[in-house]
Homo-oligomer: A and B are copies of this chain.
């Protein structure tokens, strides 16, 4: 039974698969041909029961008494995530952040290829960054390569219109770095990376700890 409830992978599980893949990469470097759920879970930072349940959702199975074949499980998760093909990516907005992303070699290593760079600044359009010529959205729409995933690194005020243009071009997956909400039609998925939000969550807990510390001092002293 290699194909159980195949179309029912829970979202929470999907969110952990990339982590498992990275952990498997580490395991592969060590040269161990197979790995137990306990050890792999340790590398991925989850409980072994959770790992096993997650893997059970993909119908994958290891060998009882032994563990999982590292190479095989890697391939299976990569296939599940759609990383067997290369996804063409466009980066829109080549400021500080967009340029850092364009220069980042980490994408290419796994299934993603930056095939276009877009900005509206006339001083940038036509110049080459990382071997790619910067274009406008118009140029991309009329004569560019097909892109599957759009990365938005423009200021927040431009993000919505950029998203609209991308959607009109057929892009259904957007990674948004601008600190704002994007409204898109059904069938288009937006994920946000928001460092300000992350910092604020850290600040919340930091403050909670500070208050706890203060209280401890108070009662102790």
Contacts and interface: CB of A to CB of B under 8 A. Distances in A.
Interface residues of A, number: 60
A61 interface: no
Contacts of A200: 17-18, 21, 81, 83, 110-111
Given A111-B199, A189-B202, 4 more contacts: A19-B181, A82-B204, A96-B99, A106-B195
Chain copies in the assembled complex: 2
Contact of A18 (B110, B180, B196): B196
Given A82-B207, A149-B202, A205-B189, A197 B100 contact: no
Given A96-B103, A99-B96, A206 B18 contact: no
A94 to B, nearest CB: 11
Interface in A129-145: none
Interface of A: 7, 14-15, 17-19, 21-23, 43-45, 80-83, 87, 89, 96-97, 99-101, 103-104, 106-107, 110-112, 148-149, 172-175, 179-181, 187, 189, 191, 193-210
Given A22-B180, A100-B99, A195-B175, A203 B87 contact: yes
Contacts of A83: 200, 203
A82 B97 CA distance: 27
B44 A14 contact: no
Nearest to A150: B202
A96 B100 CA distance: 5
